[in-house]
Structure 1
């Protein structure tokens, strides 16, 4: 079968790989669409800290069932999406339901080869029917679920004033699911084109340019009350640290992004606000289900989010092109 392989940082190849053999309890899926996310670009750029090359990337996946276990409710030809987090089911985290934070987690396309290939074989519980959602849209469910999980972690309500920092795909997902809960949402980023997209296409109530005047502008915007919930999706330590200054008294601060670094903040300022700091990792089944519900209700502008499309066979050239800021990629999808 054909697979797009990252042989080493900065070098991709379209290679022939053996077809996977379905193990007991697994479903063999023919991949139809693969979403490309920041993790994939980090792997391509050599910036991912927990990865061995060569690697077949791809964890935002939809396809059709090729072969299922005897007695499975899944049948050949069924349209499905894949939950790419392979949890062990036995560790302390799994025992309390935190399969998204499994102590032994393997993520497709990161810890093991993923779905930028014609076929993958994964455990049956990780293969979910798409229902009436188009397969191309289903390839976006995973990144949207990460945003939905972060908003759930932040316990966002309709009375909240929410700040989302970082207007990449994950930040945009957080924006959409905060809006779905009725919150008033402000988006902050360094890129004016991303801010315009968040406001004009995704319904952000306000936008803030992350420049030297951001604090003054936020103070004016909120009447000096600041934000009830802040969500960081920047993937960088400096803006994470800066975000503590935007918290209202009693605020929740959700870190959707993770950095291989230490972060620091003023303990007196944090304490006087009685703020709460929350990590948000991957997503859980309820978050995937929430994404599907919102898609079915027509509240996710999938056509607007999917800005770039191409064929897997052209991926070697497209990856370099799409990784440039000038390409203005929101969500790129490779088709098979």
Structure 2
């Protein structure tokens, strides 16, 4: 099969290699999925830079994927063959976090694109229970539900935004969907961006574009991380809330505790999503409540997709098409 491998950490053109690899085969309890669309997540960029010590090149990146089951291993019902599925994270289901409904925090999670080959290829093998059938959404839009929109769904389960003034910091591949969903949930939503092109799209979606000096937001949702986190704390009103989901650079942030203490802020972390959040995200797409925004790239152009994302040229998501 043709695939993109992370061969070393570094810049996109040096780290990502389009190559020919043996076709994978499913083992017991597994399915073989022919990828129809793969999303490029901001986390993929951090992985490529070498921020996570558990990632050992060479490996096929990517955890966002939609496709069709074309083969199954021993012990898997053959009725799955031909079904369109989305892929979720692999969790054990038995640890203390999984038992409490936090599968996204599983102690023994196995991450596609980091601990086993991911979705930047023509095919991927995954345990059958983590290939979830769905219908009614085009694959190129559906792949957005497998991370950015489901992340938005999960974020807004942490905090009530109805009738609140909300700032989303960053109009990237996740921020644009959090902003849309917050508006659906009844918030007055503003997004901070330095891109005139993105600002124009935000206005078309009925979202506000934050101006310099605007502050006192009830809720600030930071999708960037270290470069913006201190400012996000300053933009929240006293007794407001700051939700942190972004880590696009992988850098550490230096913060003064006084920003949190003297303003009596709630700081909330939100980690990814659970499989059923993806079904909720798909339903939002089916109902037309979320507009899918993405830029298509051929699989062999994955390095360019990474470059364009780093330079803020992608509105919504970069989607790789094998």
Aligned residue in 2 for 1:256: 245
The whole-number CA distance in structure 1 between the counterparts of 2:241 and 2:276 is 21
Aligned residue in 2 for 1:3: 3
Residue by residue over 1:208-247, the C-alpha shift from the partner in whole angstroms, topping out at 9 and shown as x without a partner, is 25xxxx3x333xxxxxxx2221100013x24111111122
1:95 to 87, 96, 99: 99
Matches within 5 A, 1:18-29: 18-29=22-33
**1:164/1:113 Cα in 2 relative to 1: closer, same or farther (>3 Å)?**
same
1:242 to 219, 223, 231: 231
Aligned residue in 2 for 1:222: none
Aligned residue in 2 for 1:160: 164
The whole-number CA distance in structure 2 between the counterparts of 1:317 and 1:249 is 43
Q: Is structure 2 residue 149 aligned with structure 1 residue 144?
A: yes
Q: Is structure 2 residue 181 aligned with structure 1 residue 177?
A: yes
CA RMSD of aligned residues (A): 2.3
| Residues paired across the two proteins, number | 313
**1:132/1:55 Cα in 2 relative to 1: closer, same or farther (>3 Å)?**
same
* Uncovered stretches (5+) of structure 2, i.e. residues with no partner: none
Aligned residue in 2 for 1:77: 82
The whole-number CA distance in structure 1 between the counterparts of 2:82 and 2:278 is 22
Q: Is the 8 A contact 1:148 1:173 kept in 2?
A: no
Q: Is structure 2 residue 52 aligned with structure 1 residue 49?
A: yes
Q: Is the 8 A contact 1:80 1:130 kept in 2?
A: yes
Q: Is structure 2 residue 186 aligned with structure 1 residue 199?
A: no
The whole-number CA distance in structure 1 between the counterparts of 2:144 and 2:312 is 22
The whole-number CA distance in structure 1 between the counterparts of 2:66 and 2:47 is 21
Q: Is structure 2 residue 304 aligned with structure 1 residue 318?
A: yes
Higher relative contact order (CA 8 A, sep 6+): 2
Kindly report structure 1 stretches of 4+ aligned residues shifted beyond 6 Å: none
Q: Is the 8 A contact 1:68 1:74 kept in 2?
A: no
Q: Is structure 2 residue 217 aligned with structure 1 residue 217?
A: no
More moved, 248-257 vs 58-67: 248-257
**1:197/1:275 Cα in 2 relative to 1: closer, same or farther (>3 Å)?**
same
Offset at residue 89 of structure 1 (A): 2.3
TM-score by length of 1: 0.84
More moved, 1-10 vs 65-74: 65-74
**1:72/1:178 Cα in 2 relative to 1: closer, same or farther (>3 Å)?**
farther
The whole-number CA distance in structure 2 between the counterparts of 1:122 and 1:53 is 19
Offset at residue 128 of structure 1 (A): 1.4
Aligned residue in 1 for 2:256: 265
Residue by residue over 1:264-314, the C-alpha shift from the partner in whole angstroms, topping out at 9 and shown as x without a partner, is 2343x5345443211101101332122111111011211xx11x21322x3
